[in-house]
Amino acid sequence: MDELKLSQVRAVTRRTFFNGMGAGIGAMALEALMAQEGKAQPPAPKQNAPLTPKKPHHKPRAKSVIYLHMSGAPPTLDMFDYKPKLVELNMKPCPQSLLKGERFAFIKGVPTILGSPHKFAQHGQSGAWVCDLLPHTASMVDDLTIIRSVVTDQFNHAPAEMFLYTGSAIPGDAAMGSWLTYGLGSENQDLPGFVVLVSGGTDPTGGKSLWSSGFLPSVYQGVQCRSTGEPILYLNDPPGLSRSERRRSLDALAKLNEAEAKQYGDPETLTRIAQYELAYRMQMAVPDVTDVRKESQSTLDMYGVKPGEASFAKNCLLARRMVEKGVRYVQLYDWGWDIHGTGPGDDLMTAFPNKCRDMDRAANALIKDLKQRGMLDDTLVVWGGEFGRTPMNEARGGSKYLGRDHHPHNYCIWMAGGGIKRGQVYGETDEFGYHVVKDKVGIRDLQATILYQMGLDPFTLSYPYQGLNHRLIGPTNEAQIRHELLS
Amino acid sequence: MQRSLALIGLGTGVLLGVAGLASPPKNGAKLAPIDFVRDIRPLLSQNCIPCHGSDDKKRQAGLRLDTREGAMGKLPSGHFAVVSKKPAQSALLQRLTAPAALRMPPVASGKKLSAQEIALLQRWVAEGANFANHWAFQKPVRPALPKVQNAAWGKNPIDAFILSRLEREKLTPNPPADRYTLIRRVSLDLTGLPPTPQEVTDFIADKSTNAYEKVVDRLLASPHYGEKWARMWLDLARYADSAGYGSDPLRPNLWPWREWVIRAFNTNMPYDRFTTEQLAGDLLPNPTPDQLAATTFHRNTMTNTEGGTDREEFRTAAVKDRTITTMQVWMGLTMGCAQCHSHKFDPISQKDFYSFFAFFNQTEDNDMPDERPTMPYHTEEQRRKLDSLKAELAQMQMAGDKAAIAAKQKEIEGIRTTALPVMRELSSDKQRKTTVLVLANFLQKGESVTASVPASFPRLPADAPQNRLGVAQWLVSKDNPLTARVAVNRFWAHLFGRGIVETEEDFGTQGAQPSHPELLDWLALEFMSKGWDIKGLLKTIVLSSTYRQSAKVTPLHLQKDSRNVLLARYPRRRLDAEGVRDQALLLSGLLSRKIGGASVFPPQPEGMWQAAFNGDRTYPTSTGEDRYRRGLYTFWRRTVPYPSMAVFDAPSREACTMRRQPTNTPLQALVTLNDPVYLELAQAMGRRIVQEGGATPESRVRFALQLVLARPPQSTQVQTLLQLYQAELAHFKAEPQAAESMAVKALGALPNGMDAAEQAAWTVVANTLLNLDGVLTIG
């Protein structure tokens, strides 16, 4: 093939990719190549350019999701669901009626009631009750819908997280971020469409299964951006190899591969050439988006970010930077919320206030920042854990530290932006904070509502695998889009 | 019309790409008769069976449409859904076009039949409403060999089936691949490793008529053959070196089972025995240690050690996994949905699920962190040593020297054993009662069941015991319609990138139709009649003309059969995750050819291991040859799969994976360009190029190209790489520090006489070569 034809093939390959066009890069380039050869032009075979933006099912209210997950399940009875009754009965034996037929992870025998040791007050127009450990969150309640009635059916960490994010308590299904990128593609081809950011030094209990693409093609897998070392694994050129040398080797590689494409006529070869070009651009785009030094000092201070230091705050700021660049779904996991009270490292008086302090400031900064930039309307932010915690003190092995055991029957989350109602407190639990008495929100409702806000129909977004049309919301139609939460 | 009918009938779409091939009928030409399985069954399955199927709890209006009796019988309403040859009297057809309130499928279901689909159903009733059972549930029948025009092309019966279809579709097979292509292809396919330069030279020089067959025989006898096919089996068996779930503790004691699998393939253990020993080795009379070790197959299930979990909950989850995996692996059926409700599409009821579950519900294991029960496992070498020590001890005991006896006993005890988790049946007085679990919840027990195989399939053989051994015998019985088909389809898929049934994991009514049903049956019957001989099967396939075609894609191919379902060419495809690694190791000269043994820890980025509730955070990077072992020996931690292989679609092995879906992504490019492991291999290859590639840059480039592509290089390739080399050399001469990094950093000091700038440049060349499309693919 002469130089002219080669450059035309290259032009097609690159143009297709740069423009983020739909149909297969390889196929299109190959068509051009064969047309050059003067042969009959075949119809383009269906090839995937899997992450190019796709048409939603309906007009979306949000373009991106930022999900702030508090790994370990925060005690929301000590944050948003104020229960004076528990304070009144503090350290009294728990009524038998609450224990009958219940299973607990660690509580044995008859536990005592645990009133929150922290103070609560009402805030904002909505009058939402918020604990005094969360002053920044208290200041923004009128931007949030606080749901006090989320119910799950899992009470061990890994299965509960898996259920929340993949729709199945057993590993192997696709994550919400994978579903969204599968359904919608992503706005920026130089960055992954589904990014995962982990803080607190420990992976969430469910591990990497939580951002697995499951049965969906692995191109929809969540890509973990790491806080130390390379932001994405293997992103950096080997030490000693400069950008210009990498470019030179990629040019040689492209030339050899193009010759091969001509020899074998395999469209996949041209797709591969394009992937190497994309990788080259990603090597510049990712360090750029993850470089928080590009932010003003006041922004860094607002979040509480110290450049060079891994933290939940830094991940909140990164999430905003990524969404700004068109990343579809950013998932944060922050370790350290499993407040059992087995010692000062996981109790309500020491560990919990520390976690609250860092989270409160950063989450509030994220909302403020998105709002200031006019991005909050298009960005759905969700904050929450994987289940609730008991109204009783756990006292594992006679521990003197205060803490709560796992509890699936209710917990609180909040949502903001992306077409969510502002200044709403939704749902109610009984006076013990044990069961939901009003407006129960199931995990599948939550999943359905998030997909819906993003412009997807949760009931038809499916993928055929092993004889079943799999969906995030599971095989039954119990899920409901909760319009009460939407503005 | 013909065209759209074909499209409708093809269901999940294997053949979508070729549907247009059927020649359109001329005006007024007679329509081909309706084929129930192809045209009607998928329509009923998708639109009607969910409410009118085998699930009697969900069934509406007393109508079931999955059997002839159900569809033709009188309904409680007095109507008949289907009356043969009488469309006007068939309520089914009336309801399809009824006003919205009465229409089927109900408007609320969101399902809607198109006018063509309704016409198809009308024709079906008019033609007699022929019901045939799903093809895969009928025993295979030995097909007659089809006649072909080009009789000279075929080398064995496989080719007759492939060619007759091609001729029908007016396609001609590609010419045979050249010998260079062929030896690389078959070496990678049978052993997972490319040929060495010497092996290529030998084959090219061998002028005998059976030169290719000799290569095939050599590869089948290679110990690397077992490694390659064990890799396939490990995905099915969800083999991993950790227990999974949240804390994902390490399981450093599972590898002996992997060794068992490699050995089984290498000794060509017949597939029926391979099946029986893994499912029920412990129930065989006087089982050998190896037969016990085989049963670890079903101990690869996960164990949940997270604090506060209920043992029974996760024991039940493991037993469900065994039930589902057994059906998946051997019969290609998806049983998972039947744990909550009767299967919507296939004839497996919820009761069937728990009755089959009951066979697996009688083992001692109970989700314990220590993985009880285990057996003390000795490697073959240890066994030989033990035997000789015991013989010596016996002699000493005759002699009566107490001190010597004690010393010998101590020596025997000193041999380290591995505690290998195995299946062990509960004694008869401790057997569990099995019930249906309502909505699969282990706390909600429904009706009691006794162990039995799903009712729609042949019963257990008359002389088979009512336990896992009976299940194994049932699976490999000649009456089982699926086991042999599923097995041959899997081997076929590994050689051609796609099964004859594309949905390897689903042979049920929702699965894809076979592209070549007669070929599938021929292979299945041949496999069984030749004693389930795996090597024999593979040899037959790779000796066929179909397999030996060139991979060249023509415009006609793209136009008529872009997905290559009909195999008018060899299907070029990317190597799998382990294949990419293994090949780079071999080309660099660093590959360790050691077979078996414990899992190893090739380098991975820092800080990957930070699982919750688990202290195992230090990844103990291997040293010495263990850095360079084949991919299947890489320590497989479920929540943190080895990252560079995960990027190339290696699964987490949390559950049985029947087929990996190959992708082509930028993250893959980053691995083979930048992963320090691949840089190290490029450095080693760079040194090899200088040591073995002659004296001039050109001869070295030629050597390198020949090495990685296993064929003589073309002059344009040589020119491109020579230019790259010269430019890099000039650059690195000017940048000595960069040269030092590129040439030395991963692998260590250069041998005497090598120049850092030159080696840095060769490292770049090698790095480029390891990323060539032709290297990453098998063609």
Q: What share of chain B is helix, strand, coil (3-state, %, to 5)?
A: 50, 5, 45
Contact call for residues B175 and B150 (beta carbons, < 8 A): no
pTM above 0.80, yes or no: yes
> If you count residue pairs, one on A and one on B, with CB atoms under 8 Å apart, how many are there?
266
- Within an 8 Å CB–CB cutoff, is residue B311 touching chain A? no
A21 with A108, same domain? Answer: no
Distance from CA of B162 to the nearest CA of A (A): 22
Please indicate whether residue A34 or residue B755 has the higher confidence score (pLDDT): B755
Structural domain range at position B728 = 674-778
> B12 vs A459: CB contact, 8 Å cut-off?
no
B310 with B396, same domain? Answer: no
Residue A229 with chain B: CB contacts under 8 Å: 605-607
Mean pLDDT (whole number) for A138-154: 97
Distance from CA of B409 to the nearest CA of A (A): 44
Q: Which 3 state secondary structure label does DSSP give A433?
A: coil
B336 with B432, same domain? Answer: yes
Residue A475 with chain B: CB contacts under 8 Å: 337, 340
> A239 vs B745: CB contact, 8 Å cut-off?
yes
Alpha-carbon distance of A86 to A69, in angstroms, equals: 27
A186 with A275, same domain? Answer: no
Mean pLDDT (whole number) for B363-376: 95
Residue A272 with chain B: CB contacts under 8 Å: 664, 669, 773, 776
Alpha-carbon distance of B317 to B441, in angstroms, equals: 10
Distance from CA of B385 to the nearest CA of A (A): 42
Q: Is residue B193 part of a domain?
A: no
Find the closest chain A residue to B777 by CA distance: A269
Q: Is residue A299 part of a domain?
A: no
* pLDDT on residue B31: 63
A261 with A222, same domain? Answer: no
pLDDT of residue A10 exceeding 60: no
Mean pLDDT (whole number) for A244-273: 93
Q: Is residue A303 part of a domain?
A: no
Residue A105 with chain B: CB contacts under 8 Å: 307-309
Q: Is residue B689 part of a domain?
A: yes
Per residue, what are the HEC states of B350-403? HHHHHHHHHHHCCECCCCCCCCCCEEEECCHHHHHHHHHHHHHHHHHHHHCCHH
Residue whose entry in the numeric block shows the structure tokens 């001039």: B696
> A260 vs B774: CB contact, 8 Å cut-off?
yes
How many domains does the structure of chain A reveal?
2
pLDDT of residue B274 exceeding 50: yes
* Angle, CA B113 vertex, CA B112 and CA B117 arms, to 5°: 170
Structural domain range at position A253 = 3-49+243-282
A109 with A77, same domain? Answer: yes
* pLDDT on residue B42: 79
Tell me how crowded residue B394 is: count the other CB atoms within 10 A of its CB.
Answer: 10
Continuous segment of H or E residues that includes residue A75: none
B349 with B456, same domain? Answer: yes
Contact call for residues B686 and B766 (beta carbons, < 8 A): yes
> A238 vs B717: CB contact, 8 Å cut-off?
no
Q: Which of residues 580-639 of B touch A (CB under 8 A)?
A: 605-607, 610-613, 638-639
Mean pLDDT (whole number) for B5-20: 31
By DSSP bridging, strand A144-151 and strand A223-224 are: unpaired
pLDDT of residue B1 exceeding 80: no
Alpha-carbon distance of B57 to B267, in angstroms, equals: 49
What mean pLDDT, rounded, does chain B reach? 91
Q: Is residue B633 part of a domain?
A: no
B409 with B301, same domain? Answer: no
Q: Is residue B280 part of a domain?
A: no
A344 with A376, same domain? Answer: yes
Q: Is residue A234 part of a domain?
A: no
Find the closest chain B residue to A477 by CA distance: B109
> A226 vs B607: CB contact, 8 Å cut-off?
yes
Distance from CA of B236 to the nearest CA of A (A): 14
B445 with B352, same domain? Answer: yes
Contact call for residues A362 and A312 (beta carbons, < 8 A): yes
B358 with B452, same domain? Answer: yes
Confidence of residue B69 (pLDDT cuts 50, 70, 90): confident
pLDDT of residue B549 exceeding 60: yes
Q: What's the token pair of residue B623? A: 């040293």
DSSP assignment of B47-106 equals HTTTTSSS-TTT--TT---SSHHHHHSBPTTS-BS--TT-GGG-HHHHHHSS-TTT-SS-
B439 with B328, same domain? Answer: yes
Which of B511, B572, B731 lies nearest to residue A245, judging by beta carbons?
A: B731
Confidence of residue A434 (pLDDT cuts 50, 70, 90): very high
A74 with A164, same domain? Answer: yes
Q: Is residue B55 part of a domain?
A: yes
CATH number at residue A128: 3.40.720.10
- Within an 8 Å CB–CB cutoff, is residue B712 touching chain A? no
Q: Is residue A330 part of a domain?
A: yes
Alpha-carbon distance of B651 to B634, in angstroms, equals: 13
> A240 vs B610: CB contact, 8 Å cut-off?
no
B682 with B722, same domain? Answer: yes
pLDDT of residue B493 exceeding 60: yes
B299 with B402, same domain? Answer: no
Which pLDDT tens digit goes with each residue over A296-326? 999 999 999 998 888 999 999 999 999 999 9
Q: Is residue B205 part of a domain?
A: no
> A264 vs B552: CB contact, 8 Å cut-off?
yes
CATH number at residue B43: 1.10.760
How many domains does the structure of chain B reveal?
4
A96 with A210, same domain? Answer: yes
Tell me how crowded residue A134 is: count the other CB atoms within 10 A of its CB.
Answer: 24
B734 with B757, same domain? Answer: yes
A454 with A478, same domain? Answer: yes
Which pLDDT tens digit goes with each residue over A331-368? 999 999 999 999 999 999 999 999 999 999 999 999 99
Contact call for residues A267 and A219 (beta carbons, < 8 A): no
Which of B655, B663, B670 lies nearest to residue A234, judging by beta carbons?
A: B670
Q: Which residues pair with A442 in a beta bridge?
A: A151
Residue B21 with chain A: CB contacts under 8 Å: none
Which of A171, A246, A466 lies nearest to residue B652, judging by beta carbons?
A: A171
* pLDDT on residue A467: 67
A213 with A251, same domain? Answer: no
Q: Is residue A57 part of a domain?
A: no
Last residue of a domain, one of B366, B395, B416: B416
Last residue of a domain, one of B105, B132, B159: B132
Q: CA-CA distances (angstroms) from residue A76 to A135, A423, B764?
A: 15, 18, 55
pLDDT of residue A182 exceeding 80: yes
Residue A257 with chain B: CB contacts under 8 Å: 772-774
A328 with A190, same domain? Answer: yes
Which of B638, B649, B779 lies nearest to residue A218, judging by beta carbons?
A: B649
Distance from CA of A149 to the nearest CA of B (A): 23
> A282 vs B741: CB contact, 8 Å cut-off?
no
> In this structure, what are the phi and psi dihedrals at residue A112, rounded to the nearest 5 degrees?
-105, 155
> In this structure, what are the phi and psi dihedrals at residue A131, rounded to the nearest 5 degrees?
-70, 150
Of all residues in chain B, what percent carry a pLDDT higher than 90? 71
Confidence of residue A39 (pLDDT cuts 50, 70, 90): very low
Q: Kindly report which listed range (A189-198, B35-44, B422-431, B561-570) carries the lowest average pLDDT score.
A: B35-44
pLDDT of residue A7 exceeding 90: no
* pLDDT on residue B327: 97
- Within an 8 Å CB–CB cutoff, is residue B126 touching chain A? no
Of all residues in chain B, what percent carry a pLDDT higher than 70? 96
pLDDT of residue A26 exceeding 50: no
> B610 vs A226: CB contact, 8 Å cut-off?
no
Alpha-carbon distance of B581 to B258, in angstroms, equals: 19
B393 with B293, same domain? Answer: no
Q: Is residue B490 part of a domain?
A: no
Q: Which 3 state secondary structure label does DSSP give A213?
A: coil
A45 with A68, same domain? Answer: no
Residue A466 with chain B: CB contacts under 8 Å: 334, 336, 505-506
B319 with B430, same domain? Answer: yes
A247 with A219, same domain? Answer: no
For the ranges A96-105, A226-235, B361-370, the maximum mean pLDDT occurs at B361-370
Last residue of a domain, one of B479, B497, B514: B479
* pLDDT on residue A49: 62
Q: Is residue B630 part of a domain?
A: no
- Within an 8 Å CB–CB cutoff, is residue B676 touching chain A? yes
